[in-house]
Chain A
Amino acid sequence: MYTDPYYLAFIRTNQWMHAVEMQANRIIGPTIDPNIVGMIKYRLDWNQRQRDLDFFLIALNRLRIAVVSLNKKIKDREISNSLKEFNKDIPDIKDLRDIGEHFDEYDLSQGNLNKKNYSPTKHPIWVGEKKMLV
């Protein structure tokens, strides 16, 4: 068990940054075996992208949590500013994670966002500007 907050922060931020890189590269990279074609390819491709996106969101959020946790202890201004910028760049990260993590509640329209009169499942998933996945 690591007790030094600095060393723990080093480990945690590195772990989750690794995961962010890995998932981002999986999302934007090629997916399945090119020999698989047709609807099966479409479904497999769709599922892989979706799950990679889920894990990308988890990794991003865990990176954020690791840094927030570190800065509660060391209160560094540079890190505070950087966190603000991170949150500004990805404003929907908390909601995206919530939708993914609590899919069971959202399936029943009982998620946190549903309680705020926002119904995620009424909105389609779009990739880019044209291609609609669901």
Chain B
Amino acid sequence: MGWGEEDASINYHGKKITVNKAKDSARKLHKIVMNVLAKNGVKITLDDWPLVVYK
């Protein structure tokens, strides 16, 4: 497995991160925050700040 293949896992000076897994976790966290904010009446608008488009 290397760059661009499968999940792009990295061992960086003995500390590990998997790029795709980290991205998925970030998306999950982001979605929940957006849902909570929407429930609390925050206007999720595309005018000021476009919502993230997951690619």
Task: State the main secondary structure of chain A at its contact with B.
Answer: helix
Find out whether the CB atom of A17 lies under 8 angstroms from the CB atom of B52.
yes
| Chain A, Cβ-Cβ closest to B33 | A13
Find out whether the CB atom of B25 lies under 8 angstroms from the CB atom of A90.
yes
How many residues in A have their beta carbons less than 8 Å from beta carbons of B?
56
The residues in B between 1 and 52 inclusive whose CB is less than 8 angstroms from any CB of A are 1-6, 8-17, 19-23, 25-30, 32-37, 40-42, 44, 48-52
With a CB–CB cut-off of 8 A, which chain B residues contact A58? none
B7 CB to closest chain A CB (Å) equals 9
Assembled-state Cα–Cα distance A64/B22 (Å): 12
The reply to whether the CB of A47 lies closer than 8 angstroms to some CB of chain B is no
Find out whether the CB atom of A90 lies under 8 angstroms from the CB atom of B9.
no
Known contacts being A29-B4, A125-B13, A128-B8, is A10 close to B29, with CB within 8 Å? no
Find out whether the CB atom of A96 lies under 8 angstroms from the CB atom of B15.
yes
Partner of B23, one of A24, A74, A121, A129: A24
Assembled-state Cα–Cα distance A60/B18 (Å): 12
Known contacts being A20-B26, A130-B2, is A57 close to B17, with CB within 8 Å? yes
Partner of B17, one of A29, A79, A92: A92
Provide 18 A-B residue pairs closer than 8 Å at the C-beta atoms, listed in order of the A residue: A7-B42, A17-B30, A20-B23, A27-B19, A28-B19, A28-B20, A53-B10, A63-B30, A78-B36, A79-B32, A79-B33, A89-B21, A96-B17, A123-B13, A125-B12, A126-B10, A129-B9, A130-B1
Name A residues whose Cβ lies closer than 8 Å to a Cβ of B.
6-7, 9-11, 13-15, 17-18, 20-21, 24-25, 27-31, 49, 53, 56-57, 60, 63-64, 67, 70, 74, 76, 78-79, 82-83, 85-86, 89-90, 92-93, 95-96, 99, 118, 120-131
